Amino acid sequence: MKIRENVPLSELTTMRLGGPAKYVIDIEKLDDITPAFDFVAEKNLPFYILGGGANTIAKDDGFGGVIIRNTMTGIRDVVPGERVTALEGDPQLSFAKMGEDKGRQDPLPSGPVQITALGGTDWDAVVAYTTERGLTGIEALSKIPGTAGAAPVQNIGAYGQELADTFLSAEVYDIKNKSFKTLQKSDFGFSYRRSILNSTKKGQYFVISITLELKPGTMSRPFYNSIERYIDEHHCTDFSPAGIRNIVSIIRSDKLPDPAKKASAGSFFKNIYLTKDEAEAAEAKNIPVYHGHDGLKINSGWLIEQCGLKGKLLHGIRVCDAAALVLINESATSYNDLAAARTEIIKSVHDKFGYQLEQEPNEI
């Protein structure tokens, strides 16, 4: 267990804003978990569980408590009939990153495959691990920054897929009851960008590992609009998981800035979900509504663009000129700068369309 003091949150979050955290604890092995939360209790301090920092906003006054991070990494297949657990034996499972074992020619699986990833594992490495083997289910979630342990918090989703589609279970530490347990998918209450981890049970569980079930095959057409446009423009014929991953990776690199290169928290506003009547009313006003398997929705980025804000610099925050849903910290030096930009964008959309945008990133 590594304990650091007075660590700037601007160094731990991809928006690169925020004052110091009093303590930061990195969980490096299972035996660190209980002592870490005992430390929190002994100090009588608040705590915040932080993943890769890509979907999190920190404030200027910092955090007078303990930031806890899962830095355990590993991915493995679940052996048929095995009781899935990272809580016994060595949890540092073999970790396959994209590009390793290039000469490997594994046969395609004939049925569903379950995988377990430790919470500190880079999420995109999980996607790479599955798509290289021809498994479908999370290929559209390629290049989403963050960790596997953070993925179920807001039920990450993109381009027509979401984590809940393949999620089976998670092994967690119950902070309230000081116990280790396995939670099933039904325990999580998944919905759009929501789970018990960011709502009813927020702050109660520390995610140790997640288990997903994927299957050989391909996504069903029609794909998400931007994927279909790319296919038409580039005459693509490879719709395998690896092929879709490649397409999504290119689309994201063209439209969404890499947080490692440009300070950003990813998609800053949630899309707007509608009832059938609301969707019909929107389409009557020529507002495009996406009809997907997950419901009817309006792309909030489109609304922002229609307000003339795409590419605009507001209080040091740039509305991305490639994807208006993304805000880039170009020269903002404080949370207040970000808040002022956010307020202007929300007001503009509400004044023009009557819709109320909701922020997606969590706040420490």
Alpha-helix runs per DSSP H in the chain: 33-43, 123-131, 185-188, 225-234, 241-255, 276-284, 300-306, 335-353
Which of 193, 252, 318, 342 is catalytic? The answer is: 193
Active site residue 360: yes
The amino acid that residue 309 corresponds to is L
Q: Is 278 labeled as catalytic in the residue annotation?
A: no
Q: Do residues 327 and 336 lie in contact, with contact meaning Cβ atoms separated by under 8 Å?
A: no
The catalytic position among 10, 209, 267, 348 is: 267
Dist. CA 364–CA 357, nearest whole Å: 20
Distance CA(69)–CA(364), nearest Å, equals 13
Q: How far is CA 296 from CA 222, 248, 283, in A?
A: 15, 22, 11
User: Up-side HSE of residue 210: CA atoms within 13 Å toward CB?
Assistant: 27
Q: Is 67 exposed, middle or buried (0-12, 13-18, 19+ CB in 10 A)?
A: buried
Q: Report the alpha-carbon distance of residue 317 to residue 313 in Å, rounded.
A: 5
> 180 forms bridges with which residues in the sheet?
173
| 344 labelled catalytic | no
| Residue 96, phi then psi, degrees to nearest 5 | -100, 110
The catalytic residue positions are 193, 267, 360
